[in-house]
A and B are shown apart, each in its own frame.
Chain A
């Protein structure tokens, strides 16, 4: 197994995980209607990325078809992330508007992690003259960047009210 296959594996996990977490966020923030609907739309992208990675990986002797058994340790889920971020704060149950910001931040970081894997893949594929992988990365990575921009925009727009409100 070389670095490219390792990266494909990591990215596959990352995209699957983001797809799931977008759906979790959509479910948790049903009353935040824009987040709810757009997160579902965006989870489709990650889902599609994951299957395309799995397909491409077959040529590299990897079988990524099955979902991982347990969530990857390095990828804490939404709930864990929010708890971690507020650990230490007394009775750290966040009000919904703050929890939303924290969840968006978490999604943002996950998508950013994926975009960096895509970047690595682009570079590695170029060096190794792996045209199919280059093709894959250049068609998926822009959508990962759009996911990042979305979480960023939502945080920017919602934070002023959420951080100022009396809780």
Chain B
């Protein structure tokens, strides 16, 4: 049966209910731009989404050398044919007329068009000069969560072993650093324990700070389908906003911002108090339970209620649901990761699972999520501030092993301290010890906290800034050299989603003008720098994506993220495959830790752990005495009050976040007409009580101000918790009169004008959800409501016309069996 659905008005499309334990039925979503008919499509080219970490598998429709649409891949384990609104519409941005088509260099203060030889020569000669005068520590690389594995790996080799710098990180620092750190703290090693398939088997799903309906919409469709089927799961939602998840939950807890650890400690307290602890599991697979018991013994629901401002009875109810669950799936995202005590809180979610023995069985899993599509790849490849293959920088054996893979001496790879995290790199640039920063595929002039500061760092004369991107972003406008990059659909590579599923994304069309794949740009640079290994051979011996993939396989061999059983040919098949995939597990691995904990032994672990409050590193000796047999570690944490609390002048708490119609800094989603029309402008959410107290109403133009700066937007009155404001982040300036930042007629618009420079000391993830703010009226609204969607967490309280996409947002949904299993022509 086929249906056509407005997927802006109804972002999750139609339901295909199914009972617990059954496979998720497929539903194939197809969107072709108006002028095109499926019969006109010349080729369908296999790929997966790069707009969030679902990893939705899809085929791109090509006609006359152009992308004309997309279709979900029915046979894929991740999405079974479904696509989210961003997957369906954002590809159109690839074809927009303002794509960068030629390199640019700064000349007399202006960016002017140039050619590849000149641009690359500039970068190479600056690198060589800096290496000579100031050493490798003067050069930093800041990359993305949206490139391909092959690109991250190549960048890692050239930065770590070629340049020899400790300064390489991804913007996954803003996104998924806490997920990785929490897994290392509990399991000794990164790698998602669970699988999206756990949604099919769970009887209870607890979502901690995870508005999955907007951030991973396709997995939300899966939950909605379970909710409509027999034996539907119970949901527990922890989120201060009235999200779609909250609306479907049995219990919704809306804590004060910055109090997650208090809440989780109370949940742990209750589970332990009611005797719902799996002592056999604890004895066999964990260490540290006594410490947790001691830590949470006074953390009663009443105690937490006072801190979190949620009723104690609700906490008890949530703990009861979690405590009696037979198959508990928990998911965690930015409400935890970008908030106060991020890692400490994320680890307490792991603890809930460990004490209940809810790991390694279908439906009993933890999903420490990622926001970005290929965030997992930065983690594996070491482009995120770790060493490749989850090697431990503090373990000489691991470094020697890596040096062997690269055929360099161990001291060519900096490992005297942990790799520098992004926020510290910006600090070094601010102080002038980093003099060259190469930014690929990310837009820190909008996405980092405290933008006035970031702009001033990037604009310094002494900093040589290279920006590689698709468009002239806010960041690119500050660059000394701008390199035009090809993107998804214009280049080939692999990407791995949050549940370890590897997908191949094939080139479908040519990039515009002289734009090149990021991989080719890095390879050009490596050639220009003439990096050599120990034997005088080129350090980077590959020339294309498949060659890079094969090189990565060698680096991953025997490591937790073992790719040796994969190849482009194998991936060019029915469905994505989950690592580890090797001779022992040729079809991939659905769940980690089914037979106990595998990578936590002192000799194999990726990290010796950190103090959850101070971030201080433990040494190997501490680790050995804590965890000699390599079990899972139960690490307690005490609650600390947030660093910025409301005051007389800044009476509100302010939180920020992503929403369903926009992604990252809107460089793509604002160039997709349907997505842009659904959420064209920044808005500000406040509760009805707060709005009334200030005499404000729906649609009024308001200003949000913090110690750092301010922004203006129209007010949306919602059911958000009292005392809290929400602003969607990543609205920037490129589509305003002052495209580089606020000024002139353009007031602050980006949420990050206001956010604080502070980060979790353990994961170093910046805090975007803890500011104290003031709210004031700028101008009475003239009638129209705020430009905020009605379909999502920003749903209005009063009557506001519903968000719709109209005829151009209609998407075909088909439940007919897919007629083609491969990506070729239909």
Contact = CB atoms under 8 A, between A and B. Distances in A.
Interface of A: 31-34, 37-38, 40-42, 44, 96-97, 146-147, 149-150, 152-153, 156-157, 159-162, 164-166
Contact of A156 (B134, B135, B417): B417
B614 A150 contact: yes
Contacts of B625: none
19 contacts: A31-B430, A33-B427, A34-B424, A37-B761, A38-B761, A41-B613, A41-B614, A41-B643, A149-B617, A150-B616, A156-B417, A157-B417, A160-B166, A160-B417, A161-B420, A164-B433, A165-B137, A165-B432, A165-B433
A136 to B, nearest CB: 17
B615 A164 contact: no
B418 to A, nearest CB: 6
Contacts of B617: 149, 153, 156
A146 B616 contact: yes
B285 to A, nearest CB: 26
A-B pairs, top 9 by smallest CB distance, nearest first, are A149-B616, A165-B433, A150-B614, A153-B616, A150-B616, A157-B417, A33-B757, A153-B617, A164-B137
A85 to B, nearest CB: 20
Contacts of B133: 166
B633 to A, nearest CB: 17
Given A150-B616, A161-B166, 11 more contacts: A33-B758, A34-B759, A34-B764, A37-B758, A41-B640, A153-B617, A157-B418, A159-B417, A161-B420, A164-B433, A166-B133
Contacts of B759: 33-34
B487 to A, nearest CB: 33
A32 B427 contact: yes
A97 B431 CA distance: 8
Contacts of A97: 431, 433
A37 B760 CA distance: 10
B423 A33 contact: yes
B708 to A, nearest CB: 12
Interface in B413-452: 414, 416-418, 420, 423-424, 427-428, 430-433
A162 to B, nearest CB: 8
Residue of A42, A146, A152, A166 contacting most chain B CB atoms (<10 Å): A166
Contacts of B418: 157
Secondary structure call for the A interface: helix
A109 to B, nearest CB: 16
Nearest to A149: B616
A146 B428 CA distance: 26
Given A156-B417, A160-B166, A160-B416, A34 B137 contact: no
A142 to B, nearest CB: 11
A29 to B, nearest CB: 11
Nearest to B166: A160
A161 B433 contact: yes
Interface string B147-183: 0000000000000000000100000000000000000
A83 to B, nearest CB: 22
Nearest to B428: A161
Contact of A38 (B137, B414, B424, B615): B615
B134 A166 contact: yes
B611 interface: yes
A50 to B, nearest CB: 18
Contacts of B430: 31
A96 B431 contact: yes
A157 B393 CA distance: 13
Contacts of A37: 643, 758, 761
A12 to B, nearest CB: 23
B767 to A, nearest CB: 9
Nearest to A96: B431
Interface in B607-633: 611, 613-618
A150 B427 CA distance: 19
A149 B611 contact: yes
B614 A38 contact: yes
A41 to B, nearest CB: 6
Interface string B401-420: 00000000000001011101
A160 B423 CA distance: 17
Nearest to B419: A157
Contacts of B423: 33-34
A146 B618 CA distance: 10
A150 B615 contact: yes
Contacts of A152: 616
Contacts of B764: 34
Nearest to A165: B433
Given A161-B137, A166-B134, A146 B643 contact: no
A165 B613 CA distance: 30
Nearest to B414: A160
A156 B618 CA distance: 12
Nearest to B453: A31
A147 B611 CA distance: 10
Interface string B82-109: 0000000000000000000000000000
A164 B764 CA distance: 23
Nearest to B640: A41
Contacts of A159: 417
Contacts of B643: 37, 40-41
A166 B430 CA distance: 14
Given A32-B427, A33-B759, A164 B135 contact: yes
Nearest to A95: B431
A124 to B, nearest CB: 25
A164 B135 CA distance: 8
A34 B428 CA distance: 13
Given A146-B611, A149-B616, A34 B417 contact: no
A59 B427 CA distance: 49
A142 B431 CA distance: 35
B456 to A, nearest CB: 12
Contacts of A164: 134-135, 137, 433
Contacts of A40: 643
A149 B617 CA distance: 7
Contacts of B615: 34, 38, 150, 153
A159 B615 CA distance: 17
A1 to B, nearest CB: 35
A160 B136 CA distance: 11
A15 B635 CA distance: 27
B291 to A, nearest CB: 11
A42 B614 contact: yes
Nearest to B432: A165
Contacts of B424: 34
Contacts of B420: 161
B102 to A, nearest CB: 35
B614 A146 contact: yes
A44 B616 CA distance: 17
B743 to A, nearest CB: 24
A38 B640 CA distance: 11
A34 B761 contact: yes
A34 B767 CA distance: 12
Nearest to A163: B137
Contacts of B416: 160
Residue of B418, B420, B614 contacting most chain A CB atoms (<10 Å): B614
Nearest to B756: A33
Residue of A44, A150, A159 contacting most chain B CB atoms (<10 Å): A150
Contacts of A162: 433
A146 B615 CA distance: 10
A67 B611 CA distance: 31
A147 B135 CA distance: 32
A107 to B, nearest CB: 12
B431 to A, nearest CB: 6
A162 B617 CA distance: 19
A39 to B, nearest CB: 10
Interface in B578-618: 611, 613-618
Contacts of A165: 134, 137, 431-433
Contacts of A38: 614-615, 761
A162 B135 CA distance: 13
A160 B428 CA distance: 12
